[in-house]
Structure 1
Amino acid sequence: MTGKVIALQLYSVRSLGPLEEQLAATAGAGFKAVELLEEHLAEPRALKAMLDAHHLLAPSAHVSYPALRNGLVRLIDVCERCQIKQLFVPGVAFDASRSSARGWRFMGSELAHLAERLHSAGIGLGYHNMRQDFLPLADGRIGFEILISAARGSPLKWQADIAWMSRAGINPADWLKRYRGILVSAHIKDEAPIGTHEDEDGWSEVGGGTMLWPSLWKTATECGAWLLVVEHDNPRQPLEFAKRSLSYLNRFNT
């Protein structure tokens, strides 16, 4: 797979019904690729058949740290069957807001080890940040930095959730540039103006909010993100969100 890929995170359309209906709607919205959730990997043969039926690729999936630790061999088999090239662990497996640096170092070391094993099977592993990853710990350090430092030298990559970085009060572009050596993917979602879209958890369709996506897109792709994943945590109209977001991004996806 070469060049930039725009995928839809299927969490965004979970309210549309069973997976078959989610995939049909995603294809109908114009997407050619999806990012899967761990729950979608339970029946790989059926999953591959549905993806093929709707002419969709699944270059990536989100899986938990416990699933990787306890079922790595099975996950490798699923990835091979469904042509999944990249797995991402969304967030750390502990209360990040109360953790010491020790927990972050442990998680970085664990993910580094798992990344090595997956790399030997031709599959990439990356970490997907959350908001709390960039909030200062009691000693002032940043958990994300500790985790990545502990994994240094391993094949572990990074999927940047840029909107969560923004909500943490940092400048996402600065961090994308700082960690360009491990960046392979970015989640693309948009913050609604303060006090609006409260029934959608404060998110909007991409291009309809306050984030400067033309410049953020440029920075992310120049820093190594080839997989751009469109997402909304709680869309009022999932299908319309998907269509409008893709239409907006296609304006500057060159």
Structure 2
Amino acid sequence: MFSYQLYSSRNFPPLDATLAMLAAAGYGAVEGFGALYADAASVDALAAGLAKTGLKMPTAHFGLEQLETDPDGCIAIAGRLGVERVYCPWVHPDLRPTTAQGWHDFGARVERAGAPIRAAGLGYGWHNHDFEFVALPDGTIPMTALLKGGPTLEWEMDVAWVIKGKADPAAWIAAEGPRITSAHVKDIAPAGQNTDEDGWADVGHGTVDWPNLMAALRAAGVAHFIIEHDNPSDHARFAQRSLASVKGF
């Protein structure tokens, strides 16, 4: 089953219309992000929308601060929405470590934050961007140090961001496959194209070798494939074209 990261549609309210569009397009699941459960009313609206459309939410993003300060609240939200796996998705540039030890310690911090989540029976891990693959002055790759610091962390691999970080996703899949439990499926436009969409593309209409990477991820046992576009000009077009593409991979 392919899922859809609702962040892709953040600029196309209302939420209930987005969920209806996704269900009609053939999606069976979505992935949540922090703004969708910022308060009780938002959680209620999301839960109602899922129930009305029949969409599931097996995975969701929760910010590190929320995980650290209100783990019980995160667990309650996950239970209400049917979430099975929680991923921490981001660290602000001002808070990013600058040394190998710093990234190791950050990985340990992320792991500690997830202890209550795992104790509640949920999967838990980290979602990458590009900065984790930019070598430090001593040559260390932050992602390597982060994973060592958090040895039980799962990994939701955002493949396109790995490529943006000038790393080889196939090599990382081969090395860390057992830890990769979800993958973000998005595409990169050819250089100079889709500038109004920040250089991203509908899945299957860009430069990422999705047929081979999808096969490698499936072989590694990845359970969740979440279609995403960081800034689509038309979210319905993106959702429909991307799902049609991935069904052929």
- TM-score band by shorter chain is over 0.9
1:116 is matched with which residue? 115
Tell whether the 8 Å contact from 2:3 to 2:31 is kept in structure 1 after alignment: yes
Q: Which SS does the other structure have where 1:91 is aligned?
A: coil
Give, in angstroms, the shift of residue 93 of structure 1: 4.5
TM-score (normalizing by structure 1) = 0.92
Aligned residues: 246
Partner of 1:241: 238
Cα distance in 1 for residues equivalent to 2:107 and 2:97: 17
Q: Aligned letter for 2:112?
A: H
Q: Which amino acid aligns with 2:31?
A: E
Using the alignment, how far apart are the partners of 1:115 and 1:176 within structure 2? 23
Report deviation, 1:141: 0.2
Query: 2: CA distance between counterparts of 1:163 and 1:181?
Result: 19
Equivalent residue number for residue 127 of structure 1 = 126
User: Which stretch of structure 1 is more off in the superposition, 179-188 or 112-121?
Assistant: 112-121
Match of residue 16, structure 1, among 1, 12, 17: 12
1:197 is matched by which residue type in structure 2?
A: N
1:8–1:118 distance in 2 versus 1, CA, 3 Å: same
Residue in structure 2 matched with residue 146 of structure 1 by the alignment: 145
Q: Percent identity?
A: 35
Q: Which amino acid aligns with 1:29?
A: A
Paired with 2:137 and 2:95, the residues of 1 have a C-alpha distance of 11
Q: Distance in 1 between matches of 2:118 and 2:215?
A: 28
**For the residues of structure 1 that align with 2:178 and 2:93, how far apart are their CA atoms?**
26
Match of 1:104 in 2: 103
Distance of 1:49 and 1:97 partners within structure 2? 37
Q: Is the contact made by 1:189 and 1:205 (CA closer than 8 Å) also made in structure 2?
A: yes
Distance in 1, matches of 2:136 and 2:91, equals: 14
1:91·1:129 contact (CA, 8 Å) conserved in 2?
yes
Q: Match of 1:88, as an amino acid? A: Y
Q: C-alpha distance in 2, partners of 1:38/1:242? A: 21
Shift in Å, 1:75: 0.7
Distance in 2 (alpha carbons) for counterparts of 1:226 and 1:30: 18
Q: Paired residue for 1:57?
A: 56
- Cα RMSD after superposing both structures: 1.5
Could you list the runs of 5+ residues in structure 2 that have no partner in the other structure? none
Deviation at 1:101, TM superposition (A): 2.0
Partner of 2:221: 224
